[in-house]
Each structure stands twice: as C-alpha cells, then as structure tokens.
Amino acid sequence: MIAYIIRRLFYAIPILIGVNLLTFTLFFMVNSPDDMARVHLGVKRVTPEAIELWKADRGYDKPLLYNSKEKGIRSLSNTIFFQHSVSLFVLDFGRADDGRDIGRDIRQRMWPSLAIAVPTFIVGILLNITFAMLLAFFRGTYVDVWGVVLSVAMMSISIMFYIILGQLIMSKLWHLVPISGYDTGLRALKFLILPVLIGIVSGIGAGSRLYRTFYLEEINKDYVRTARAKGLSSLQVLFKHVLRNAMVPILTGVVAIIPLLFMGSLVMESFFGIPGLGSYTIDAINQQDFAIVRAMVFLGSLLYIFGLVLTDISYTLVDPRVRLE
Amino acid sequence: MALADNNKTLEVKALKTWIDTEGGIIHAVDGVSFNIRPGETLAILGESGCGKSLTALSILQLIPKPAGRIVSGKVMFSGENLLEKSEQDMREIRGRRIAMIFQEPQSSLNPVMTIGQQIKEVLPDRRNKSAIEINKDIVGLLDSVGMSDSARRIKEYPHQLSGGMKQRAMIAMALASKPDILIADEPTTALDVTIQSQILNLLARLKKENNMSILLITHDLGVVSQMADRVLLMYAGEAVEDADAVNFFVAARHPYAQKLFQSIPDRSKRKKKLDIIPGMVPTYAGDYQGCRFAERCDKAWDLCFQEKPQWRSQDENGVRCHLYNDTLELQDTLNKKIEQEFVTTDEKVTREEILLDVKQLKVHFPIHKGIFRRVVGHVKAVDGISLKVGRGRTVAIVGESGCGKTTAGKAILQLIKPTSGEVIYDGASLTKMAGNELRQLRKNFQIIFQDPYASLNPRMLVGESIAEGLHALKLESSKETIQKRVKKILTQVGMPEEAYARYPHEFSGGQRQRISIARALAVNPELIVCDEPTSALDVSVQAQILNLLNDLQRELSLSYLFITHDISVVEYLAHEVAVMYLGRIVEFGTAADILDNALHPYTQALLSAVPVISRIGNAGNAGHKDGTQFLLAGDIPSPSNPPAGCHFHVRCPQATEICRQQYPGQTRVTGSHTVFCHLFESAPELTGQN
Amino acid sequence: MLDFTFKILVTDALLYILVTAIIIFIVYARKHEHLSAPWRQIKNKKLAMSSFVILLFFVITGFLDSIHIRQEIKIDTESKTQQQVVQYSSEVLSLLDLLLTKLRVQTEKTYSAPFAIHSFTKEVTDDQQGKPKLYYPRLKYGGAHLQAQDSRIYDIGKRLLWALFWTLLVIVLCILLVAKFVVSKNDNKNEKTNLNTKLKTVLSGNTSTPWLTILLVMSIPVFFIASLVELGPFYHIMGTDQVGNDVLYKTIKSIRTGLLIGTLTTLIILPFAIIFGITAGYFRGWVDDLIQYIYTTLSSIPSVLLIAAAILSLEVYMTNNPQSFTTLIDRSDTRLLFLVMILGVMSWTGLCRLLRAETMKIRELDYIQAANSLGVRHRKIMSRHIFPNLMHIVLITVVLDFSGLVLAEAVLSYIGVGVDPTMDSWGNMINGARLEMAREPLVWWNLTAAFVFMFILVLAANIFSDAVRDALDPRLRKA
C-alpha cells in the first residue's frame, strides 16, 4: 500500500511538468512577454524601454525555453520556463504582476473558501444520501417518480438562478441575511448562511438522482435476496446491507473532490463578495494577472492528483476487496 | 416417516407465478403442486427457464418485484397459507423455519461484511447473549459445516474464501436457526466437481443430523440421483412428473424424463448417436392449447396438440401426459420404439499422423509488486504441458477451474503468447512465427467457446460473422461465392439459410453455438479447439451439439482438442484424455486408460466425485460407480503459489515424504498411458491393476 | 426584393457538418436493427417524445439562426464608381433575423416592462407652463397602434384568441395528416380502415408512437409562435433591455449560442475520445500509458482556469492582430469557435476514459478471440468489433453532456471567459441581469426570459437523455 502511494506520487511529477508546459505554452508562446507588457501598460504609446523595464521587473526578459548565451545547466535554468515553473514545485508561487506575494494571498484567502465549501460539502452529501435512500425505499411508487422528476427539474436550473433568487428572496424581500460581503471571526457566520444554503439546494437534484441509481444497482444484487431470505426487514436490508455497498461508489466519488474544496467556488464567491480563492481567481482572470492564474492552475492540478490518491486509499477503506498493489 | 409431523410439512397447491415483461405476461410457474415431508429431500428438476427457481422463491415470497407476481395457489406450512402472510409475518418464517441457499455463493454474500457479521444477523437469540457467546456460536456453526479454521474465518470477507468455503458459509447462515426446511437453489452448479461432492455430502449429513427437509432445485440428474428421495420434474412452468426417486430413475413415466436420460452422454453411448430432444424449451408466454412438450415429443399424437393433459396421480406419484390413464398405466401402444442409430467410426483411424504436437508449453503471467513494479513472481497458468493430437482424433483436456486448461487451448492457437515451449502444427512451428506467416496458417486451426452469448458479436449479422474469416484470410473474393459458401455451412450445422441476414440475439444458446461452429468451419480447418462448448447449455441441447460435433468429425475428419470439466462428455467422445491439475498434465492416456484404469490419485478422485446416475436409485448415499466414494478434502490451491513438490500432495490421501519435496517425473505405464506420480515411479513396468 | 449572398461562418459550417453526420447516422441506423431498435423504444415513450418535440423546436430555431446572408445594398445611380460592382451590406443577418425583423428593428430608448406601452424610466419634459416635469413617455413601438381610449388588455386578449385559433388550426391539420399517412402503417393491420376510424385511433391515444401526446405538446410551441406573430410586432412581449432591445428577440437569438456550445463541443470531443479510448484499451502497453498520461494531465488542470487562460490568450491575440477580425460578428464567431474547441479539449477525457475501460472489457470477449484466430487485422477488429459495441456509450455521453454544456456556457459568460460580450447568450443576459436585480423597482424580465428558455431547453434535454440512456444501456434496462 505504501509502495503504491509512493509510486502514485512519483507518477504525479511528469503530470505536473506536463501541466506546467501546457500553461506555459498558452501564456508565453501565444502571447509573447511583449504582448503581455503591452496589455498591462496600455496598447498605444508605450516605449520599447517601458516594455523592457516591465519585463525585466518580472523576469520575463529571459529566453523562453533555452538560453543560448549560457552554458551547461544554466542554458536550461536561466529561462522563463525554468524560473517560473520549478519554483512552483516547492510551492513557492512567486509574486503577482502587481508585486503581491501570491503564497501569502493563498494562505489568507483559503479560509473563507473553506468556510463555505466545507459545510456545503458535508451537509450536501448527507442530505443527498438521505433523499436518495428515501427514493430507493419508495422505489416504483409515486414518491419515487415525482422525486425523480423534481430532481431532474432542480438539476436543470443554472446555479446562477439559485443564487440570484436566493439573494432576492432571503435578502431583498425578507431581509434575513446580508446580500453579500464578509467579515472576520464569528461575525462571518451571517454572511455564510445564504451561500451555504444555496450551495446545498442547488446540488440536491443531481446528487440524489445519482445516488439513487447507486442504491438501485445494489438492490438488484443477489446478496440482497440472501438478506431477505434470512428474514431481515426491508429497513434492515437497506441500512445494513445496501447502504454499505452503495457507499463504495458514493464515497470514492466524493473523496476526489475533497482536496479541491480549497479552490473555492468561483461563482458563489464572486456573487457573494467573499474574499476566498475563487474570487481571487476571478479577479486575476479579469485583471489578466497571469502569475496568479498560473499559480492557481498548478495548485488545482496538485490537489486533483492528491484527490486521485485519496480516492484510491478510500477504496481500500470502504471495500475490503480492493487492495493496492 | 410414517409419523409425519404435519406441522412441518410444506404443501404447495396449484401455485401460479407470472412475470410481466415488455413482450407480454410470462406464465413462469403455472399451477405447480407438491409437498415435502419432514426429513425428505425433494428435488425439483428441470432445464433452464422451466420455472423451478421461481417456484422456490414464491414459497418465501422472494420473487423479483414488481415484475413478478403470485397469481394464485397456496403454500401451506404449519397450518397456514404462507402466501397470505404479510411481509412482516413472512420474516418470522424466512431464515427461521424455511431457509434458503443460492447458486452463486460469490454474489449471494454481502461483499463488504465479514462472514461473522453476516451469520450473526440470523442467530436466533443474539440479543440476550454476550459478544463472546455469539462468537462461540458462530464458530460452532462454521465447524458444523466443515469450515476449516473457523475462528479466523469469522473476521474474513467473502472474497477471501474459495467458492466451496463461501457455500459452506451460506449453509451455516441458513442453518443458524435450525430451520425445518432448507431450500437449496442449484447449490453446487457454480462449483467444481470435487467441491460439489463435498457440499452434497455435507447437505446429506446435515439433513440427517437436524432432521430437516431439503427442497433441492437442480438441472443435474446426477445430483438428483445422489440426493433426492422424491423428484418433481418441471417443464415450461408445469410439473410433468412427480415420483419416488427410485421409480423415477428406474422407470420414468413422462416421455420428457425418458428422453432426458437418453440424451445424457456417457460411455455406454460411445459411438452411438445421442438421442436428442429436438427443438428447445418453449418460452411459456401466453396460453397453450395442448401439451407443452408436444412439439418436441416423438410420442405425441393429435390429442397432445389439442388438449392439455390432466395431472394424474396415484400414491404420491403423478404424471401429466396423455399416455397414462388415471392409475398411471400406459394407455395405448402408440409408444414407438426408437432405434438407436449407431455411428460407425472405427477406432483404428490413422493414428500415425500427428497433426498437432505441443512440447513443454508454458504460459506464465508476471506478478508485479513494489514501487517500481518489479516482477516478484509468476502465475504459472500453464507450466510445461506436452501432448499430441492425431488427425481425426479427439483429445480431451480435463480439469477443474483454474487448472489452466483454457489458457493452454488459447496458447496452442497462439491467441496468448506462450512463455516458452513449442507448438508444432503439421510440421510447422507456430511459436516461431509471427504476423502474416502465422495468419496464413490460421485457417487450419479454429476455436469454439463456452459462452454462446459472448462468442458472437451482437452488432454483426450472423452471415457477416461467419464470412469474416473468408474475408480476412482472402479465401474467397467475390461476394456471391462467399454468400453461397456461408449458406452451405449454415445448412451443414443444421441452421436455416435465412439465419444469414439475422442478428445473434434472435437465436437461442444452442443455435448460437451452432453458428460459432459454422464460423470456425467456414475456413475449412483441420483442428478445432473446443473450449467447453456445451457446458453452458441444457442437457437436451448439449446432446444436439455433441451429435453435430461427432458428425462433422466423421464427415470432415476433423481433429478436436476438447477442453472440458465434464467427465460424461469425455466418456462419450474422447479418444485420448489429458488430466490437468494446476497447470500441468498429471495423467495422459487413451479414454480407456484413463476411465477404466486411472492411476493418479487426482484422476481417481475426479472420476469418483462425478455423481453417476444410478438406475437403482439411492437416496442419501452416493450412487457412484463402484459404490465407494473417494472424497477429496480441501480446495484447489492458487496457481500463483502452487505447493512445493507434487502440486497435489496437500490433497492427496496417498502422499508420502517425497511428494512434498519433488515434482514427480513421467512414468510410462503402457504405450499409450503416462502418469506423473511418485507412486508409480518405482514400478515402471506396472501395468496398472488398480 | 434585394439580392443577397450567403455568408457562412465557421460555426455555421461546423453545424452543417454535424447535421449531415446526424442524417447519415439516421439513414445508416435504419438499416441496422441493433441501432434502430433502441430508438424505436424511445419513439414509443410519452415523456421522451414530448421532450424531443420541444428540443426539435429549439433546434429548428437555432438552425434558422445559423443560415447567414448579407443583403445587397442599393447603390445610387450617381455612384462615383463606374464599375457595376455589386455591394453587400456588412451587416450579416440570419434567416431568423429576417423572420423577426420587427422584433429586431423596433428598439426603444431603454427599459420597458413586458407589454408596456410606457417607458420604464421617467423622462423630463417641459409642461405647458415650461416647468420641467417627470413623466413616463409612450414607447416608440410598444403598443404604438393603440389610441388613448383603447383597452390594452382587450387588444392583447383579441390577439391571443387569434393565436389560439391558428394553433388549433395547425394542430387539427397535423392530426389529420398523422391519421392519413402515419397511423395505418404501424397500428392498424387492417388495410381498409377509413380516415374516420384512423382518426379515432389517434384521438384515443392508442397508437404505439404516442401521437396524441406529441401533438398536444406540440401545441405549446405552436401557440408560442402564433402569439409571437400576432403580438410581436405590436408589443415587447418580454419587455426591453437597458438599450431598448427587445428581450424576447435576444432570448430567442441566444438559443443558437446554447445549442452550438452543446453540440459542436461534442463534435470536437468525439474523434479524440474514440480514437484515443479504443487504441489505449485495445493495445495497452506504452500506447495506453501515453494516452493515460495525456488525459490525466489535461483533466488535472482546473477546467475553468484553462478555459480562462485560453480565452485570455485569444483576446490578447485579437488585440494584437486587429486586421484579421474586421467585423464584430467575425470576432464573436471566432471566440465562440475557440470556446467550443477549448471546451472540447477539456472534456474529451471523460468519454475517453469510459471507452478505454469498455474496450479493455470487450477485447477479452470470445468474439474478439475468434476474430483473432480467423486472422482479422487489428484495425478491422477495432472498427468492426469494438467500435460498434461502444456506440451506445458514445451516444449516451453526447446527449448527457449537452445540458451540462449549456449550463456551463452561462457560468463561463458570467465569469467573463464565455462567449463574446456582444453576442446574444443566456449567460450574458444573466450577467447583465445581476445588476438589474438591485434596481428599484425590479427589472425582472431579462432574468425571467433567460431563465424560462434555458430551463425549458435543459429540462427537455435532461429528460430526453434519461430516455436515451434507459434505452441504450442494457445494464439499466432491467431495473
């Protein structure tokens, strides 16, 4: 098992290099540093000197991939790619185009993101599991039919409608919670209620419908018939036998997401004005701050791969048949 | 039995269970009646789809809902009608008074719960007991079903147990609350023959010890012969005969029963055509006017097609057939005598010409481990087998699951790359060829498979499938000649020409197997590897396919490498037999050598484990050939880690010290008979009077 | 009548290719039982066919909006040039635009509520005394035909009744057509049935294809179109937006954007996913390792960020090369195309993974072994044996992905990395509506219009894809 995890982590290195190369190509091959400088400094009336200065300031004055002026290892290392990518591997994210320390920003902004994502995630999953269980218990009846119809309808609504409607009703009409904003400490609570609630409600449709199919798949299996032949009640069968088996696909699907909770929700945070990593990313996109976007891409990939490894590990925990070799 | 405890008798009266499908309502169980008395084993016998499993599930109200529904009938038990009981009340019956075990122990156990947890759920008074006491009870139960190392098994998950052990765990679970009746739905069908005999013996012993009744659902006449007191034969949703086991095997009344006996291959029918039941089991949708078996019955006359035969019974025996009157005597003399057609294959075919010569063939699959996925070992699926197949001969490879017989077959055809060894076909070494060179030779050797559903591409027309080889090997060029040739082959295997433009799903298992044979024949091969071609088929259909294979061999002088686990098939058609155990051949000889004069203890055990249909009839005791049974203990070890020395020594009753240390060499007993066993090494001149 | 010339945008061309591919598939499927059987099953399901009818109206609208033309401009006879050059307007219009000309050109100054005849915002004017006075001015087009004393409700009601009449006419005509031409083939073995009995069959709902349901569902979009014809030229049915454009027109124009993103993306996905998935699963070994590496790498990148990065790069490229993108429609079309491509590149990995896993299962099946032993070549095995047995997964994924992509467009446009801000799309409408929600009184019609259309499209797609999955996935069929 440990050997497996170590191997998986080794395997992550070429993937991260690939990610870096890809983003690098997108950022520097399509748009030369000159283009970027011009975008930042204003397209018209920039002197070549200003551009050179801008580039030198940010280390973009070096060759892209291969420095012919240098010798030996330096010909590879004294390049934009090396300087801006290798440091990412030790989680040194460098500075944003406006000079801020990206690493510090991330450490600071991950807490609001987590404050929304974690409760949404946990309560959402518990609710989905429960609703799906209800649908499965009443399978074939009208409860099930209308439950599924409702789920499909709910998942057909864009997240942004949930948010806008939620803000309209909860904040504008009923004045229950503030419409947006954030605060420190416990005072943040009142700002969190609405986004968390909307996050949960918007996920119920898709989640409970998916989990329902997991349950139904299990209910048709032979061991359920055995359990019934043993004289167990429907509820015992559902809770003791079916639930535990259905947890295998549910949990493993869910575990992969856990690390990505760090990244925050782009839409939610920007609608509610929450200073998390999601809105950080959006701001960077809108300000065309490539350094931040690159850092977030790297962080996202890293967390994704971490999620894959976690998924494998969680398999061994919920399914005794799986052993990592 | 005279003092029948009425309270424990199960009586099923006119049970009807229907299933709703998109194609209409299927009358899956259509008025079945029977009863089981205490201490009795009733076998419900029938081919697939006859409604036998559904009958058993209906008793416990476990039929799949909402598709299935019990339409009418009564299931009387303890003076109550079980069918009127609510789900709540049924729980008091299920598992407690009537328990059930199923065919697939693999899927019938919950994969994420330990054996102990699953047994604990059914312990009757688990709430008043401490954990230690419960543990003791479970261990006791597992011990009583012959589970080895029970204390450790409690904490194990189903996947850690072998098939036989899983079935023992199922039985332990069923017996936990000492039920009056045990329903066993094909309990040994998924198991190997040596394990099957262990489980059957266990069931017989437990029945005696606990004085319970068993309702045994099976398609296997051998199992019925070994286990049953009474037999209920079902056909297309109806009971057609109910008889005492002795009577049933000596003088079955219903023509269907008689035909079943005649269609089973065995030695006595060698070189004769098997008596087949034409056609296939009807889909029992809709109403029948006459007898359901009439279309396939060679004794049927007008009345059989017009009027449904009534159930006639006397003294607990009953039959549903127009041939019999109310006292179950044969009514008329229309009973035609069927001539058994003799096939004249002379034994002395040119034995000199060797078509296929396999030398020390090995197929090893590497096992990777560790950070760098180093190869730490090999699964030795095939570990050095040598055999020869003569032109026009049938060589059978016999062995239990996991012995490597299928891998060997595929490696011989170069469908799996052998690790080492040589395969020489008609003088050409296949193992040294590759690419086009090999492709050109492929027309000479073909393969047919076990599963008729996986062996045809569902997206291709039957004709396209058969013609594929002709295209690929460029044997024919014009469209017309190909079509003509394919249609000719279809007729040859007994299929209508119209099958050409239809899809596989329109055909039954037996017909698909014919199509697979046609596909192999299309390229005019000389050798066909038959990988268990009949083991997924019903007995009556199996006979059709075996006859076809026999006919084709005679007409086209084909050679067969026949891979099977079924001894009766081997007895019927093999010229030479190779017995495999854990990747190696342990004994090789002519059919007579192996079947009459088996030397290797494993071969002997394998032969004796096969339940033989005894016409004398015998309940409880095994009806084996020589009366004695040679029961093998333990499971088949994993081929990734075979025991040192002789692979068989752990299960061998005659193992000695040398068996534990050294794999035995080849001993030639007679010109045709070789064996790998230390018992015979010292006496090379042994002529084998076992 | 002015002459015109066709202008084929790149996305139009891709859509034509897709439609052609679908038609070829239908023709091919009709000849192959295993392909047409599941569709026949869908054809007989009420819910599936209802959603299909709705989808069909969306598709037709989107398709009409994808045939673009440039109209000829009348050049004055005293034109300076001597040559008789035919000049075309730089304005590119679609067939849909021409059909909805009234809606397109009747723009007001600013916001107005649905069916309003007065503006939503006050204007200052001098009253008779010359003092400035705030008032709600009459709209230029909305309800312009009404005299002061006319009742607006009465007028709308009258026009709706006409719309109802047209709808009934169309539906009755359709019922007659169905009864005459379709029913006899499948549902009546008796050849000599007259029209009367056929009509009864249709109206009783006893046809295998649920014609009655289909026609009833069809009456909804038909009524919508009839109302549009009756009311559209005289009122702003869904009001107008900030710059006075008709909201309903914008919403209808957004259909094309949603459809293109939902369908063209899959067109990009399919070749990648199918070729890579099958080769990886079939050959395994290093080919598999390489393909797995590619898709793990791609899917590990947060998709929004990669899309953002790609769109940003495109923007920079466009600013630096203005000469390649002269017209607004070229710009927005290029951006749409680029978005579709990057969405495709991001999302082929899921299907590829599924196909790889399924190929690995299929290649072990006996019929592949049989093909091997018959000497069939790898390419042929992959195309004749494996691909046809994966077809159902491909189709299920395509229909399942559609609704997700439509929803994704809205989110991306909101973030600012979706389609061009000048392009009509529901995402852009929602983005704009966000600020309108803060207005007092509420400007609700922009959001509502986008919501209703998007919800209907996505819901219909979801229901339809459910039916497709049930019909095509044999594993789910028993449940």
Complete domains list, chain A, with CATH: 2-90 (no CATH), 109-318 (1.10.3720.10)
Rounded mean pLDDT, A12-29: 82
Chain B touched by C364 (CB under 8 Å): no
pLDDT band at B371 (very low <50, low <70, confident <90, very high): confident
For residues B600-612, one letter each, b for 16 or more C-beta atoms within 10 angstroms of the residue's C-beta and e for the rest, the string is bbbbbbbbbbbbb
Q: How far apart are CA C431 and CA C225, in angstroms?
A: 27
Out of B92, B112, B371, the one facing A245 most closely (by C-beta) is B112
Interface test with A, best of B54, B89, B371 (most A CBs within 10 A): B371
Which ranges of B432-588 would DSSP assign to H, the alpha helix? 435-441, 462-472, 479-492, 509-521, 539-556, 567-573
Which tokens hold the place of B550? 């026999």
Of C378, C376, C349, give the one whose Cα is nearest residue C283. Answer: C378
pLDDT tens string B123-133: 887 788 888 88
Q: Which helix (H) or strand (E) holds A254?
A: helix A243-255
Range scoring the smallest mean pLDDT among A158-162, B643-647, B686-690: B686-690
Rg (CA), chain B: 27
Is B111 within 8 Å of A10 when comparing Cβ atoms?
no
pLDDT band at B103 (very low <50, low <70, confident <90, very high): confident
Share of chain B above pLDDT 70, in %: 91
Q: Give residues with Cβ within 8 angstroms of A97, minimum separation 6.
A: A40, A58, A287, A289, A290, A291, A292
Rounded mean pLDDT, B127-141: 88
Q: How far apart are CA B150 and CA B144, in angstroms?
A: 10
Q: Which helix (H) or strand (E) holds B395?
A: strand B394-398
pLDDT at B519: 94
Cβ atoms of C45 and C210 within 8 Å: the answer is yes
pLDDT at C135: 77
Asked if residue B342 has pLDDT above 70, the reply is no
- Mean pLDDT, all residues of chain B: 84
What DSSP state is assigned to residue A185? Answer: G
Which tokens hold the place of B14? 């006119």
Complete domains list, chain C, with CATH: 4-103 (no CATH), 148-233 (no CATH), 254-472 (1.10.3720.10)
Residues in C closer than 8 angstroms to A157, CB to CB, are 451, 455, 458
Q: Give residues with Cβ within 8 angstroms of C283, minimum separation 6.
A: C378
The alpha carbon torsion through B144, B145, B146, B151 (nearest 10 deg) reads -70
What DSSP state is assigned to residue B328? Answer: S
Chains with 3 or more CB pairs under 8 A to chain B: A, C
Chain A touched by B54 (CB under 8 Å): no
Q: Which amino acid is at C189?
A: K
Q: How far apart are CA B410 and CA B450, in angstroms?
A: 13
Q: Give residues with Cβ within 8 angstroms of B366, minimum separation 6.
A: B375, B377, B378
pLDDT band at B685 (very low <50, low <70, confident <90, very high): very low
Q: How far apart are CA C124 and CA C112, in angstroms?
A: 17
pLDDT at B333: 47
Of C264, C266, C255, C340, give the one whose Cα is nearest residue C54. Answer: C255
For residues B169-198, one letter each, b for 16 or more C-beta atoms within 10 angstroms of the residue's C-beta and e for the rest, the string is bbbbbbbbbebbbbbbbbbbebbbbbbbbb
pLDDT tens string B233-251: 998 888 999 998 888 888 8
Q: How far apart are CA B558 and CA B149, in angstroms?
A: 50
Range scoring the smallest mean pLDDT among B214-228, B410-424, B637-651: B637-651
Out of B87, B102, B369, the one facing A226 most closely (by C-beta) is B102
Of B273, B281, B278, B283, give the one whose Cα is nearest residue B300. Answer: B278
pLDDT tens string A169-215: 888 888 888 878 888 777 888 888 899 999 999 999 999 999 998 99
Asked if residue B529 has pLDDT above 60, the reply is yes
Count A/C contacts: CB-CB distance under 8 Å.
Answer: 136
Q: How far apart are CA C112 and CA C118, in angstroms?
A: 7
Q: How far is CA A135 from CA A217, A219, C470, in A?
A: 13, 12, 18
Give the distance, in angstroms, between the CA of residue A242 and the centroid of all CA atoms in the same chain.
30
Provide the CB-side half-sphere exposure for B50 (13 A, CA).
23
pLDDT at C2: 58
Range scoring the smallest mean pLDDT among A16-20, A213-217, B130-134, B683-687: B683-687
Is B368 within 8 Å of A10 when comparing Cβ atoms?
no
pLDDT band at B418 (very low <50, low <70, confident <90, very high): very high
- Mean pLDDT, all residues of chain A: 84
Share of chain A above pLDDT 90, in %: 21
Residues of chain C with pLDDT under 50: 1, 476-479
Of B112, B59, B99, give the one whose Cα is nearest residue B187. Answer: B99
Cβ atoms of C136 and C143 within 8 Å: the answer is no
pLDDT at B504: 87
Q: How far apart are CA C170 and CA C99, in angstroms?
A: 19
Q: How far apart are CA A163 and CA A200, in angstroms?
A: 11
Asked if residue B147 has pLDDT above 50, the reply is yes
Q: How far apart are CA A297 and CA A291, in angstroms?
A: 10
Distance between C281 CA and the closest CA of chain B, angstroms? 17
Asked if residue A323 has pLDDT above 80, the reply is no
Widest pairwise Cα distance in chain A: 86
B10: left (phi over 0), alpha (psi -120 to 50) or beta: beta
Of B81, B82, B77, B26, give the one whose Cα is nearest residue B54. Answer: B26
How crowded is residue C190: how many other Cβ atoms within 10 Å of its Cβ? 7
pLDDT tens string C338-355: 999 999 988 899 899 999
Out of A267, A286, A297, the one facing C301 most closely (by C-beta) is A297
pLDDT at C82: 54
pLDDT at B420: 92
In sequence order, the β-bridge partners of residue B590 are B576
Which ranges of B49-162 would DSSP assign to H, the alpha helix? 52-59, 87-93, 105-108, 115-120, 131-144, 150-153
pLDDT at B203: 92
Give the distance, in angstroms, between the CA of residue C435 and the centroid of all CA atoms in the same chain.
26
Cβ atoms of C371 and B468 within 8 Å: the answer is yes
Structure-token match 């018959």, residue found: C374
Of A316, B103, A164, give the one whose Cα is nearest residue C446. Answer: A164
Rounded mean pLDDT, B583-592: 92
Chain B touched by A104 (CB under 8 Å): no
Asked if residue B591 has pLDDT above 80, the reply is yes
Which tokens hold the place of B60? 């416990």
pLDDT tens string B167-200: 999 999 998 888 999 999 999 888 888 888 889 9
Burial of A64 per CB tally in 10 Å (0-12, 13-18, 19+) = middle
Q: How far apart are CA B603 and CA A209, in angstroms?
A: 55
Q: How far apart are CA C458 and CA C402, in angstroms?
A: 8
Distance between B521 CA and the closest CA of chain C, angstroms? 11
* Angle at the Cα of B155 from the Cα atoms of B149 and B159, rounded to 5 degrees: 90
Rounded mean pLDDT, B636-656: 85
Is C373 within 8 Å of B519 when comparing Cβ atoms?
no
Chain C touched by B517 (CB under 8 Å): no
Interface test with A, best of C254, C293, C296 (most A CBs within 10 A): C296
Is the N-terminal amide bond of B255 cis, ω within 30° of 0?
A: no
Chain C touched by B446 (CB under 8 Å): yes
pLDDT at A263: 84
Phi/psi for C350 (5° steps) reads: -60, -50
Cβ atoms of C141 and C244 within 8 Å: the answer is no
Distance between C373 CA and the closest CA of chain B, angstroms? 6
Cβ atoms of A94 and A295 within 8 Å: the answer is yes
Which tokens hold the place of B360? 């020390």
Interface test with C, best of A39, A154, A156 (most C CBs within 10 A): A156
Which tokens hold the place of C311? 């769109």
Distance between C370 CA and the closest CA of chain B, angstroms? 7
Distance between C288 CA and the closest CA of chain A, angstroms? 15
Is A297 within 8 Å of C302 when comparing Cβ atoms?
yes
Rounded mean pLDDT, B570-597: 91
Give the distance, in angstroms, between the CA of residue A186 and the centroid of all CA atoms in the same chain.
25
pLDDT tens string B256-289: 988 888 888 877 777 778 877 887 777 655 567 7
Cβ atoms of B11 and B32 within 8 Å: the answer is no
C55: left (phi over 0), alpha (psi -120 to 50) or beta: alpha
pLDDT at C55: 93
pLDDT at B620: 39
Q: Give residues with Cβ within 8 angstroms of C343, minimum separation 6.
A: C261, C265, C268, C307, C405, C408
- DSSP string covering B473-503: TTS--SHHHHHHHHHHHHHHTT--GGGGGS-
Is A152 within 8 Å of C297 when comparing Cβ atoms?
no
Out of A19, A38, A160, the one facing C430 most closely (by C-beta) is A160
Which ranges of C125-246 would DSSP assign to H, the alpha helix? 152-177, 183-187, 195-204, 211-231
Chain A touched by C351 (CB under 8 Å): no
Residue with the bigger pLDDT between C171 and B370: it is C171
The interface predicted TM-score of the complex, written ipTM, equals 0.85
pLDDT tens string A69-111: 777 777 777 777 777 777 777 777 777 777 788 888 998 888 8
Phi/psi for B63 (5° steps) reads: -65, 150
pLDDT at B619: 39
Cβ atoms of B670 and B652 within 8 Å: the answer is no
